[in-house]
Every structure is written in C-alpha cells, then in structure tokens.
Chains A and B, each alone.
Chain A
C-alpha cells in the first residue's frame, strides 16, 4: 500500500546554487508584460537575503483587501505544535498579503488512497504539496492543477519567477505547460556505501576505493564472520532510481523506471539501449550472482521483512548502502553509541558522472479550481523567500524548536524533536537556498561529499529536463513493470543465474511491448533534443 514512499530517494541539501545563471537564461527577456520589471530586478540582486521588501513592493498593485483563508494539503503526520507555529505564520501572512493558511495533512499510509480522491471530488482547497514521486504527473495530466503561466508567476510570485533555477521549470513542464512550483535547492540522491571500519581492519582489507573493494569486503565478512549479516543486497523494488549502487559507474540513465531502457548521460543525441543486453551491465549481474552464492546476503533477502538500516545500526549487518544524507546521519548516530565500530562512508564510483536530483522532487501545485490562485501564489512566494516565514515553517519557532548556528547551520532543540521536528512538517515544497544544514559531524560529511560531487561529478545535459509522455504506452509500461518484478528481481538477488534468466526476461519484455516502448521513447527523446537545439 505504501510502496510509493520507497521511491523517495530524494535528499535535502543546503549549499545554495548559484542563481546568477537563472537570471540570464530564464524567461526574463520580456518582463515588460508583467508590469513590474523592478520586482524581478530587485529579487535577483537580493540573492539569499530576505526578499520581503520586494514582495510588499509589488503588493500594492494587487488588490488584497479581502481577507482569505487558503487551504493547503500537506503530506505526513501533523506535529503537535503545528497549530502554534502556523498561528505565527498566519499573523505575518495576514500583515503582508491579508491571507492565512489552513493545513490539511495526509499521513504517509493514507495519501495514496486519499490524494487522488481530493481532486476527484473537487474538494475545496487551494494548494497542495506535490512531487515527481507524489502524484505530480498523473494529477497534472488529469487537469488537477492550475497551469502556471508566465503572466501569473510574474505578477503574483515575482521572486519565484526571478530566482528559480530554470531547469526546475523545464522539469515541471508537461506538454509544454507548467503545473507546479518546484523546489530550488541542490540535492543528490547518489548512493554511498557504509562499512564497519573495525571489521575491515580485522581482515586487513585496505580502505575501499572501488566497487571491487566493496564486493571483496562483503564476501570476506560473509565467509569469516559468523552471526552477522554481511549485506542486505539490492533494493526489493526495481525502478530506475532504485538501481543498485554497483550500477553507478555505467553512467546510464533510465527514461522510465518500468522499462530497462537507458541512454548515456553524456551523449548529446542519446540513443536508447536495453541495459540487459549491455555486457558491462551483465557483468554486474554476474558479480551479484557471485556475491549471493558466497552468502553476501541472506538467501531470503528478497522477502525479508527486516529493517536493514536499523540492523546495520544495531551491529547486525556489516555493510549498508543508501543515499548520502541517510548515511551521514547514521554514521554520526553510530559513532556516538559505538565508536569502536569505526563506521566509514565511501563513494564506490568516485569518478562516475551523475545528474543532480530533479528539482521537481518537491514542489507545490495550485488546485485547478482554487478560488484564490493569485493569493496562493503570493503566499507561496513569501514562504519561499521571506526568511522569517521560511524558517518558521521549516524549522519551527526559533529558540523553542531550533536555533541557528552561524549562517547556514541549525541545531535541533529538545522541544523540536517531538513538538515540531525541524525540516519535518512537510516544508519541502517551498525549499529554496535559504535552507540550512544540520550542525555536527553529519553535516560536515554531507557538505564535503556535496562539494566534491558538484566540482567533479555533476553534469548537466539537455535531457535532464526531459519528461516522458506515457499516454500511448501506459499499457506496455504497466506490463513491463510486472515483468521486471517477476523475472528480473530474482536475478538481482542471485536466485537465478543471469546467463539463464536474462534471455527469458528479454523475451517476456518483448512480449510485453518493449519494442513499441523503445520506439515511442526514442521518438520523444529525439524531438526533445531537436527542440532544445532550436532554442
């Protein structure tokens, strides 16, 4: 029921992106139409400082004499102190744009059921959290969100329009139209490996530099260390973003998680190939089969109900993989409790190029039938760029739930952990460069990795913003998703020999319409690349 949340591989990041580029390349060329050229100009110049003066400067032009109550749908549990925090938020909002927010929370284990129903019944709400993993595409395609035109944005959310990295707008485009305001902060969900330094030293294994080193470590533990699980194996859900860590260095990218079709990240005019026919990828599967045979992960890992991250933390597992954000915090927690375990974090493919996470990993959409879309956009603009509002909604009440450390770090206070967990009450939809990093060793690790990746590994490509229109291949994609889970997943877990299983997978996929999907995807990719070149 709640499998969707597993697709959540996004991480939050902190280092502000340089927004200078956006000012030049965005749609700012013809801002005369908006009637407030000064607004965007000021906004661009006031990089990370509070942009509220700009907002109030543009406010008089818009009639806000009527006090409105905006309803916003958020996901996750409602924290106990939410009402207290939002009472303060509403005071400020009333002052600035004569509006207030009323929240409605959908818990993680009910949002899959409820989110679509809210739109189906056309309930009375104005804005909703949305994301690539949280109904953005289906809702927008079903006319659930209001189209955000340049005019609308320039008039009512000028700061957003001026500051937002244009990559985000492009990613949000569905058939050329924008239906969400994406977040605007760098994140990378790249997987890293965590190992136990004490065990590594015990078996005289040098520090891990490559995937082979990792495999060697896992195999050594599996062979010699009894009573501990070496590693939990690949993820039990297979989709593009969940591809195991050992595939990172192939530098391939999926178009859709349900089909095994990939293209080269670095290519200018990418050609789709089936990675199951790529000898390099097959070698990886052989490697995993080999690992499984040496007992690198439990035989039943594919059905295991164990929380593996917890198992690693408790010392029941010797290696874990996950995104850097989780890894850094796990390391900090473990070092506090068990410093003798000497937890280490490694990037197993330090040379591999990668994309940053899509900005549409978080965002806010305006309900298509909202009675006050303008005011909703104004409020959103403030939540994103008014430092006071941003920090209130993201971290809670200063001095009670959190306190700032320097310019870009924060510390959680005891009341924050339960009353209003900082960065925990779904403020992700309006995350911008105002965001702070958690203070402490975890934050240091995180920042050093991000810094390295941004300097060496992150690449940009025109395809970064490509979004598939699945209208013509919905049936085939559903069938392919099924084939992957049925026939491919057991191969990943080493339960079926790749040389025997892969031909069957490919045959089943052909039967499920792989060729049609490939043709359709390639057609869309080519058209997209051509349109980008034309710009």
Chain B
C-alpha cells in the first residue's frame, strides 16, 4: 500500500518527505519495482482483456472490426457452444479436477523423495542417478513405441491410470526441486542421523515441512501440467467418460472445423458458428485455476517460514 501511495505522490510531483521509517534506498527500490511490475503486468493483462472481450463478441463483429477491448456486439454464442452439452463438460471437469488433485499429491511425494536423495551430499551415486534421470529429457523414442507400449503391453488404453501415471514423474521438476532442497542446510540431516533417525523419517518429519515453498512451487506446476493435459487423452482415451477438460475443449474446437468441412463436403451452407470467438472463450475457460489456485499457493511465498524456526 505504501509504495502505491508513494509513487502516486511522486508522480503528482508533490514534494513531501518520505515517511521516516522508510529509508531512501528502500523508497527508490519500491518505486522502481512498482512502476516496472505495473508496466509488465499491464502488458500481460491487456491481451487477456482483448480475449475476454472477444469471447463475448459475435463472430460477425470480430470479422468486421477485429478485437476490441469493449465488445461491439455482445454475444454469448461462444460460451453457449462450449457448454452445449453441460453434463459432458461437467464430467470432464470432474475427471480433470480429480486427476489434478490426486496426481499432484502423488507426483509431489515421489518427486520430493527422489530430489531429496539426489541432493544428499553423502550419497555418492547422486551424480550417476541424476544423469540417468536427465538423459530422458535429451533422447526420446517418439510416439510410436510409447503408444505400442501403453496400448499393447501395459493395456492401459482407455483407463484413468494412463492419465494419472504418464505425467507423474517429470524429470525437469526433479532437478529443479533438487536445487531448491540444497538450500536446506545439510546439518539438519546430519544431526538427525546422529540422533539415529532413518533417511525416510528425516525426509518425512524434517525435510518436507521445511521445503514448503519448494513444494508449493513445484506443486503448482505439476497441477497445471495435469490441468492442461490433453495430449494423453488424445492418444489413449476414446471413452467419453474419461475425457479430460482440455481434451474435451480441443474436441469442441475440432467439431467446429468438422462442421465446416462437412458443410463444404455436402454442399450445405456453412452454419454460423463461433470460430475465433470460441478460441477466445476456451482460453477463458481454462484459465480458471490461476484465479482460484494461485492466491492459495501464494500463502507459501512468505518470507521467514524457513530455517530460523527450526534451528533453535
């Protein structure tokens, strides 16, 4: 709040002494930060407002006038199209939410455990194992063998399992988490070891609570990964009851294309359908979690939650 007032004051050109408890350097830093972040944030929100407005604009108006910040010709057509089959989209929401919750918890646990071990200085094989994990981000066999493996050998086609398990271990996050965990002093592990605690107990009792910011961060990304997944559905799911939200929306988009192709193919007039507007509406529909989830995650981005408290 302070910085906001200060900058406004500065901008108005009113000369006033900064409040005594804020030092000059802090004041400058605050002003720079406030201005710069406001600027970047505006760059980020402006296109989004265009999209929001576009999603409420009739297809015809988009065609004629392009995108405007205020809808010129208000229309709910795009949303009506997205929610055409409410029970289907509700089910897709259900699948995605449950996958996101379950997947994030499991994935975080597995990743954190792995990262903790990989950064333990007394674990001599840590580099070898790290390399073993990292190698998979460089080389990949491609879609065909993965598809054959999942469908023919693991028989996971059209199962909830494939959606849960495929994204479960992401090597990228293991390596980032590993670097986060290094900021937890090794002394904590060492002293606990001397007290006779086992590695797993140390991890559960001491490390996990200390790693909250790291867990929150990686958890956010894992959750977004599950939330945004559509490709695994595309590959492995044909049972409508298991569609993930993003895949369902992807199919909605495909249906529009399909209707156009079909109209062309059969010589019937192309029906009036939201094309561009629909893409915009889909963007809005999938952005939901950041509005609801992110403020929640931010609770963990608070200074002073860390070592100090434990050390004593």
Contact = CB atoms under 8 A, between A and B. Distances in A.
A–B: direct contact at CB < 8 Å: yes
Interface in A290-310: 305-307, 309-310
Given A121-B148, A307-B275, A309-B270, A107 B255 contact: yes
B139 to A, nearest CB: 20
A76 B258 contact: yes
Given A113-B234, A121-B152, A314-B64, A333 B269 contact: yes
Interface string B256-290: 01110111111111110001100000000000000
A524 interface: no
B254 interface: yes
Contacts of B144: 116-117, 120
A2 B251 CA distance: 13
Contacts of B276: 305, 307
B258 A329 contact: no
A100 to B, nearest CB: 18
Contacts of A329: 263, 267-270
A2 to B, nearest CB: 7
B27 interface: no
Given A108-B257, A113-B234, A123-B151, A11 B63 contact: no
A214 B126 CA distance: 72
Contacts of B147: 117, 120-121
B262 A424 contact: yes
A135 interface: no
A425 to B, nearest CB: 8
B63 A417 contact: no
A239 interface: no
A210 interface: no
Tell which of A122, A325, A428, A446 has the most Cβ of chain B within 10 Å: A325
A114 B234 contact: yes
Interface in B224-258: 234-235, 238, 250-251, 253-255, 257-258
B57 to A, nearest CB: 14
A326 interface: yes
B269 A314 contact: no
Contact of A117 (B64, B143, B255, B261): B143
A108 B235 contact: no
A113 B144 CA distance: 10
A110 interface: yes
A284 to B, nearest CB: 26
A422 B265 CA distance: 11
B263 A77 contact: no
Contacts of A437: 267
Contacts of B266: 12, 421-424, 438
Interface string A425-469: 000100000000110001100100000000000000000000000
B80 interface: no
B253 A109 contact: yes
B129 to A, nearest CB: 32
A372 interface: no
B257 A8 contact: no
A314 B62 CA distance: 11
A109 B254 contact: yes
Contact of B254 (A108, A121, A306): A108
Nearest to B150: A121
A412 interface: yes
Contacts of A5: 257, 261
Nearest to B61: A314
A284 B250 CA distance: 41
A129 to B, nearest CB: 12
Nearest to A113: B234
B63 A314 contact: yes
A450 to B, nearest CB: 11
Contacts of B271: 417
B82 to A, nearest CB: 15
A117 B267 contact: no
A76 B63 contact: no
29 contacts: A5-B261, A10-B265, A77-B254, A77-B259, A107-B251, A107-B258, A108-B258, A108-B261, A109-B254, A110-B254, A113-B234, A113-B235, A114-B234, A116-B144, A120-B148, A123-B151, A307-B276, A313-B270, A314-B60, A326-B264, A329-B263, A329-B267, A330-B270, A332-B269, A421-B262, A421-B266, A422-B268, A423-B267, A438-B267
Given A326-B267, A424-B259, A446-B267, 11 more contacts: A8-B261, A12-B267, A107-B251, A108-B258, A117-B143, A117-B144, A316-B63, A423-B262, A423-B267, A424-B263, A437-B267
Interface of B: 59-60, 63-64, 143-144, 147-148, 151-152, 234-235, 238, 250-251, 253-255, 257-259, 261-271, 275-276
7 closest Cβ pairs, A-B complex: A423-B266, A333-B269, A424-B262, A109-B254, A107-B254, A77-B258, A325-B267
